[in-house]
Structure 1
Amino acid sequence: MDVTSPTSGAQAGPVRAPNTADDTAAAKTSGDFEMFLKLLTTQIRNQDPMEPADSTEYTAQLATFSNVEQAVQTNDLLKSMITRFDSQQATSAANFIGMEVRHEGPVAHDGTSNVLHTAIKPAADRAELVVVDGLGNEVGRYAIDPDAESIGWPSAAQAGSVPPGLYDLHVDSWAGDLQLDRTPVAHYASVSEVVLGDDGTEIVLKGGVRLPMSDMQSIRAAQ
């Protein structure tokens, strides 16, 4: 049975739009288009009337002009479509605020125990929960039941020795003397906000953890 700390008073946070490189790229393409137009008109205006440019050359230049124009229009259309899609996705994701999402990202420890869902290899006869702090330092390693589907962390005995903060957790396991593949642990965290990140819609979880929508495993009502 999944057990998590109850959440209360959940309020919808704002949906924010990020600063991306899209505007810079669009401005550069538009600038290239305008520069090409100025060069072409200057060439036509200053050509020698007695020896005008070859019509084939003009045809090639006009074809290039057309390609540049289409590139600008295509870029604007794609930008508009992406913006519209991200906005729709963020609006839809705003319904998750106040709910709980299961994921394998960092655990925000606030002094209470978290329920972790393990995926230990069936062949394992020994397993350890490994705790890594935000600086990448291993700060704890605890023997756990290799047959357990969920565990509590920190335990009552460990709680006082674990300061609040973000932690990355995983399980190391062995079959005899053979170390098996490292496995992640999943847990539920409450959603406080939805933002438009550089790579699309992200949800902000307890403790400030930002999670791409694609990393969600499941979502449920707050427990």
Structure 2
Amino acid sequence: MDALSTAQNAANSTSRGATSGSNNANSLNPPTKSAAGSLAADFNNFLTLLTTQLKAQDPLSPVESTQFVEQLASFSSVEQQIQTNTKLDAIASALGQGDLNSIAQWVGKTVETRADQIRFSGEPISFSAPNSSVYDSVTAAIKNVEGNVVGRIDLEKNDATHSWRGEDGNGGRVLNGDYTIELEYRRDGDVVQSAVASQNGLVEEARLTADGWRLKLSDGGLVSVANVTAILPNQMTVGK
């Protein structure tokens, strides 16, 4: 049996003895394994193997020193990788906490968001309509999920924010649900440009989902933080 095999057998015997004692102690208190703890155990085993290998080598045919260097280099590389991953996890955690601290400041404020659909739940919905001197008038067409127009609102040209209270085209109120507010910009009576209105809503809470941060607005809808285009003074939530 060569020196390396003898060393490995001795190390395995030592490892089994240590494991047996550890299992007896851990039967009452199971340990929580981590990358760092596993690394420390592996390093101890590595030192045991290395020491035993040195003791068991044939004096007339010693193990090449380059083999020890290669083993040390391999272990050092793994150790550095685990430490790097640990530091990256710490950085990611810090960045996530920074996002939470930043987004938490939005709670209680009014935000303007891009929204293809706006949820009507009985309360007035505030939305934005950029104005321009190029157009004569602006109309908000309210569409249901089927794309049918259920009402229209003539908007004041000089106002940037407006409100829809759920009225339909017949003087009644629409049912609660999802709607789209499409802006129709007119010149000389003709629609020359259309755009979906931006929704204004009061942020009640922030939630971290699998798709990222979502803001729950006062109407119950959830919007992505990525769709927030502006943070407005709270008094701007009431439109015309």
Does TM, normalized by the shorter one, top 0.5? yes
Give the deviation of 1:109 after TM superposition: 0.9
Q: Tell me, what secondary structure is at the counterpart of 2:126?
A: strand
Q: Is the 8 A contact 1:99 1:191 kept in 2?
A: yes
Equivalent residue pairs, number? 193
Q: Tell me, what secondary structure is at the counterpart of 2:122?
A: coil
Matches within 5 A, 1:88-127: 88-105=98-115, 106-119=117-130
Cα pair distance change 1:216/1:69, threshold 3 Å:
farther
Is 2:198 aligned against 1:186? yes
Structure with bigger RCO (C-alpha 8 Å, 6+ apart) = 1
Q: Tell me, what secondary structure is at the counterpart of 1:68?
A: helix
Corresponding residue to 1:163 among 175, 179, 190: 175
Q: Which segment is superposed worse, 43-52 or 212-221?
A: 43-52
Cα pair distance change 1:211/1:126, threshold 3 Å:
closer
Larger Rg: 2
Paired AA for residue 183 in structure 1: A
TM-score, reference length from structure 2: 0.53
Cα pair distance change 1:60/1:104, threshold 3 Å:
same
* Alpha-carbon distance between aligned partners in 2 of 1:63 and 1:179, rounded to the nearest angstrom: 70
Gaps of 5+ in 1: 1-26
Q: Is the 8 A contact 2:140 2:152 kept in 1?
A: yes
Q: Is the 8 A contact 1:110 1:164 kept in 2?
A: yes
Q: Is the 8 A contact 1:130 1:142 kept in 2?
A: yes
Paired AA for residue 184 in structure 1: V
Cα pair distance change 1:141/1:166, threshold 3 Å:
closer
Paired AA for residue 206 in structure 2: V
TM-score, reference length from structure 1: 0.56
Give the deviation of 1:61 after TM superposition: 4.2
**Deviations along 1:72-106, whole A, 9 cap, x unmatched?**
22222222233233324423433332222111134
Q: Is the 8 A contact 2:167 2:173 kept in 1?
A: no
Query: In proportion to residue count, which structure has more helix?
Result: 2
Paired AA for residue 233 in structure 2: R
Give the deviation of 1:142 after TM superposition: 5.7
Q: Is the 8 A contact 1:195 1:202 kept in 2?
A: yes
* Alpha-carbon distance between aligned partners in 1 of 2:144 and 2:179, rounded to the nearest angstrom: 6
Q: Is the 8 A contact 2:139 2:153 kept in 1?
A: yes
Q: Is the 8 A contact 1:86 1:200 kept in 2?
A: no
Give the deviation of 1:179 after TM superposition: 8.0
* Identity across the alignment (%): 20
Match of 2:27 in 1: none
Cα pair distance change 1:57/1:205, threshold 3 Å:
farther
Corresponding residue to 1:209 among 222, 230, 239: 222
Match of 1:62 in 2: 72
Cα pair distance change 1:59/1:163, threshold 3 Å:
farther
